Amino acid sequence: MNDQPIRKRRRLGYLGMLGLCGGLGMVVGLASALIDSFGGAVADELQIGLMVLCSVALIWICVAWWRGADEAVREAHKWAWYWGGSAGIGVVMGLLILTTWNVIDLVPSEMPGDPADLIVTGIGLTLGAQFTGYLVAWAFWWLRHR
């Protein structure tokens, strides 16, 4: 019988990863507000630098989490991202096509008039649908493999 002592590896769990990312977001938000108030002439440059640092840190956290995740956990996320993300964006595309053909009317009465705001709305809608699909597919994968 294999009774060798168990080597426990400390892993960054899913909630730990989300917590770290959320905490980092709060710190960066606070720093960004301080730069806005006291950054003076170089505020824009400082903001860009802060965003680059934040992006690098977020990627590092996600890579650390991914390396610690086992194969079933990874498989669930890959499956969920592909199928859930695709389904989510498919739904948005379908609604967009139906709206364009005037089959349905989903355009809110108060649409942002500024093109930049429209682009941000579109990105938000797409990412939101993809993320929702991802969460549903992720839960479905684990329910199916219980």
Partner 1 sequence: MNNRLKVLRAERNWSQAELADRLGVSRQTVNALETGRYDPSLPLAFKIARVFEQPIESIFLED
Indicate whether 139 belongs to the interface with partner 1 (CB under 8 A): no
Out of 44, 45, 75, 117, the only residue in the binding site for partner 1 (CB under 8 A) is 75
For partner 1, which is the closer residue by CB, 4 or 102?
Answer: 4
Q: Using the rule CB under 8 A, give the single segment among 3-11, 28-36, 51-59, 87-95 that binds partner 1.
A: 3-11
Indicate whether 73 belongs to the interface with partner 1 (CB under 8 A): yes
Q: What CA–CA distances, in Å, run from 99 to 17, 45, 77?
A: 38, 41, 32
Q: Using the rule CB under 8 A, give the single segment among 5-13, 15-23, 88-96, 127-135 that binds partner 1.
A: 5-13
Residue pair 57/24 in contact by the 8 Å Cβ criterion: yes
b/e map 86-125, b = 16+ CB within 10 Å: ebbbeebeeeeeeeeeeeeeeeeeeeeeeeeeeeeeeeee
Cα separation of 75 and 22, whole Å? 24
Indicate whether 78 belongs to the interface with partner 1 (CB under 8 A): no
Cα separation of 93 and 109, whole Å? 20
Indicate whether 146 belongs to the interface with partner 1 (CB under 8 A): yes
For partner 1, which is the closer residue by CB, 44 or 75?
Answer: 75
Site for partner 1, rule CB under 8 A? 1-2, 6-9, 70-73, 75, 142, 144-146
